Structure formats: C-alpha cells, structure tokens
Amino acid sequence: MIDFLAIEDFMLKALLMGFAFSALAGPLGSIMVWRRLAFFGDTISHSALLGVALSLLWQAPSQFILVFFCIGLALILTLIPFRSKVSIDSLLAIFSHGSLALGLVALSLMNQPPVSLTGFLFGDILALTWEDIIFASLTALGIITLTIAFWRPLLTTFISEDLAKSEGIPTSLIKIGFALALGLAIGLSLKTVGALLMTAMLIIPASAGRYLTQSPATMILAASLMGILSFVSGLWGSYVFDTPTAPMIVVAALGFFILSRVLYVAKR
C-alpha cells in the first residue's frame, strides 16, 4: 500500500497533475457530453501526434508547437462548415485517424526520433516536470474562472443554441472560446494520458457525473471529482499491480462510470 506521507516525488507530481487535469476536464468534458462532441475531442487528440512530428521536423519546441497545433485544429473544425454527403461524424473520424496515421508515418521516417512514441500515445504521467504541472494548473484556473464568469451564456448555448441566438448571445464566440480552451487543454495535457486515451478522461468522468446529478453545475463538480478519484485509484492500482499508469487510470474511470450507472438504475 502506498505511504502517502512519504510519497515519492514522481508520484506527487502525478497526483497534482491529476487534480489539475480533472479540474479543467470537469467543465470541458461536461460540455462535450452535452453537445455529443466525443469525436471532436478524439480528432484533436489523435491529430496532435502530427503536431509532434512537425515540431521535430522544424526543430521547434514540441510543447509550443503541440499547443499551437491543437488550438488551430480546434478552431478549424469549429469554424469551417462541413457540407458533404458524408456525415460530420464520418468526416471527423477520417480526419482523426488520417492525421494519426500521417503523424506515425512521419515519426517512423526519422532515423532516431528524440521522443518516446509510446509516451505520446499512452501518456507518461510519471515523467512530468513541475513546469507541466504549473501550466496545467494555470490552464485549469483560467477555464474554471471563464466558466463561472460566462456560465449562463455557456449553458444556454450548449443546451439550446436556438434559444441562445434568440436571446442575443454570441454563440459563435462562445463556441470559438470552447474550441480554444479544449485545444489548449489537450495540447498541455497530452503527456498525462496520451493521444489515444485523452478523450476517455474527458468523457468518462463527465458521463458518470451525469448519472449522479440533476443539474449542469453539479454535473461539472461531479465530473471533476470522478476524475480525481480515477487518477488516485489508477495510480494506486498501477503501483500495486505494476501495470501501465495511464490505461489503469482510464480503467478506474470506467469502473466509476459503471458504478454510477448501477446506482442510477437502482434509484429508478
């Protein structure tokens, strides 16, 4: 059993990042659940690997290029109206997996890529730096502050866009702001759970919170709490059973989701 009074430095960093990520994932994940934007998040996180490859090709700071790439992609997907015989879900899936494949091919063509591909795909939460935690914490604080400041316009826009427009709410600006926040969060947090598991930690805790609460505000709080519990449980499980950390965190989140579903059905 982990002695939290004599906790290792790397474990402390992982826990603090878990708290910061859960704080920013609460509002962002809840909005994604309300608007059914799981594919949207998947597209950004999967495509982020292409941003990593570009940063290596250009010999630029990977974190800067990654954040810039994720924000730019989120804005493009938000602003460009897709008019096609193919559904928007299909287009997002094509873009997501195509960009992921292109990033993998680009990295494979390098003789000795100076990054761990596994780390970007599945996360490397035990190799975080204090700078990573500070940036994630500031991002979480900013997202929480903006969510509180623009709560009513946000809620109205993402629950009923037609109602928001009738009330004169600038829905386009609201959606652009959400795209910026989501792109920034994914770009800064990719090291935590990785490109393949990022959306899971945005969606699963929020979905669990939806079963346990009856209002949007409490759903966000529940989603953040579920995220924190998932990180703590996943880190503990990874330590005890010697399993990969990020997948174990997602497994813990899945367990809490199943429990929330059982409690929801039991109440009915």
DSSP H helical ranges for 9-87: 9-35, 38-58, 62-79
* Contact (CB, 8 A) for 133 and 16: yes
Nearest to 197 by CA among 240, 242, 227, 241: 227
Q: What is the secondary structure of 77-106 as a DSSP string?
A: HHHS---SSS-HHHHHHHHHHHHHHHHHHH
| 98: in domain | yes
| 227: in domain | no
| 85: in domain | yes
- Domain of 101, CATH number, reads 1.10.3470.10
pLDDT of residue 113: 57
Report the first-to-last Cα separation within the chain, whole angstroms: 37
| 206: in domain | no
pLDDT of residue 216: 92
| 61: in domain | yes
Each residue's pLDDT tens digit in the chain (268 positions)?
444 444 577 788 888 999 999 999 999 999 999 888 888 888 888 888 788 777 777 776 667 778 888 888 888 888 776 565 666 777 777 878 888 788 778 777 776 655 566 777 777 787 788 888 888 899 899 999 999 999 999 989 888 888 888 989 998 899 889 989 998 888 888 877 787 778 889 999 999 999 999 899 999 999 999 999 999 999 999 989 988 888 899 999 999 999 999 999 998 7
Number of domains making up the chain: 1
pLDDT of residue 248: 92
* Contact (CB, 8 A) for 202 and 210: no
| 256: in domain | no
- Alpha-carbon span 19 to 7, nearest angstrom: 16
pLDDT of residue 1: 41
**Whole domain around residue 128: which residue ranges?**
4-110+121-195
| 201: in domain | no
CA distances from 158 to 154, 174, 218 (A): 6, 9, 16
pLDDT of residue 213: 92
| 143: in domain | yes
